[in-house]
Amino acid sequence: MKKTILTGLRPTGNLHLGHYFGAGKTWREIQNDYDFYLEIADIQALTDNFNNPEKVRTNVYEIAKDLLAIGIDPNKVHIFIQSQIPEIAELTVFYGNLVTVSRLQRNPTVKTEISQKKELFGNDGESITYGFLGYPISQAADITCFSGEVVPVGDDQLPLLEQCREIVRKFNSIYGNILIEPQQLLSKTSRVKGLDGNDKMGKSLNNAIYLVDTEETIRQKVMGAITDPNKIKKDDPANPEICMVYYYHQLVNKEEECQTICSECKKGARGCVQCKKELINAMNEFLKPIQEKRKYYEEHPEEVERILQEGTTQARNKAKDTMKKVKEAMRIAY
């Protein structure tokens, strides 16, 4: 019998190359091996987009089309919408009694996200909402509601998973051995760097190439990518290992092409403008099949709706089974 695996995405924007080569690569590889629940976490997206619900609603469908376009198979993966599973919200309330405020404030992932959202919460953090601070509790409910045995995560998400395990242990110590303590499945793919050289690609950093970007948008972004600052003239030798253009060539270009680019760069036989133009062409060729598949779903919104409804129904049935056991253990199954 296949183990249950649970992961999710907050619908705050389209997928970018970081998602594709990071989480997306892992998900495509494991979708044959697990009973896979993939959550579009619209409630969690509202924790820092509470004043823009239409954006979240629109992005639910944008994310769904992106997932299907990169190769997530709805016949193998239950793609579902978080807000349509009331058992998650119910379980979040129960878990709220098991976690102290000080423990939530110490969570490294929460602390990092708060520091990145100073405009929303203010420098003193006094405007932090209960929902945002309680994000780890909600995530624990996501995982355990579907009896998630395995959770694919990057190392930056390990504190959230550890908090989930703490909640499970606390619950089981009080009510009996009901919940499963999830284990991590660490991604083998490292983070994709941003066009600016930042170790993380992201929307808030404005350094990402999105799967839906047009050829003109890609041209503008690549032409502004960071190269070796010590290369002044076209014929100057350079270090490709610190050049973001070469870095992206390695992601989307053929290995033999990359070897040629690396050699020419080191010899000073390649100009940065030429290299960027070649990357633009390679990037567009790489994204073309993804965008063509995505276009199909854009033209067939009823199919996207059907996939989400079926996946959500399957997830709801699983959640109902879990909640029945939880309520019986808590003596509130009236």
pLDDT in tens, 217-261: 999 999 999 999 999 888 899 999 999 999 999 999 999 999 999
Residue type, 20: Y
Averaged pLDDT score across all residues of the chain? 91
Residue 322 phi, psi dihedral angles, 5° rounding:
-65, -45
CATH class of 215-294: mainly alpha
Residue 137 phi, psi dihedral angles, 5° rounding:
-70, -45
Determine how many CB atoms are found less than 10 A away from the CB of residue 48: 21
The alpha-helical segments, DSSP class H, found in 177-254 are 215-223, 244-252
What local confidence, expressed as pLDDT, does residue 248 receive? Answer: 95
309-315 mean pLDDT: 98
User: pTM of the prediction?
Assistant: 0.90
Residue 304 has pLDDT above 80, yes or no: yes
227 contacts: CB under 8 Å, gap ≥ 6: 238, 243, 244, 245, 272, 275
In the sheet that holds 4-9, the strands lie side by side as 77-81, 35-40, 4-9, 150-153, 183-186
The radius of gyration of the chain's CA atoms, rounded to the nearest angstrom, is: 22
Of the pLDDT bands very low, low, confident and very high (cuts 50, 70, 90), residue 37 is: very high
* pLDDT digit string, tens, across residues 255-297: 999 999 999 999 999 999 999 999 999 999 999 999 999 999 9
Cα separation of 175 and 325, whole Å? 10
Q: Structural domain boundaries of the chain?
A: 4-192+301-329, 215-294
| Host H or E run for residue 197 | none
The alpha-helical segments, DSSP class H, found in 80-187 are 86-95, 101-106, 108-116, 118-121, 130-133, 135-145, 158-175
Domain 4-192+301-329 carries which CATH code? Answer: 3.40.50.620
Cα separation of 8 and 28, whole Å? 14
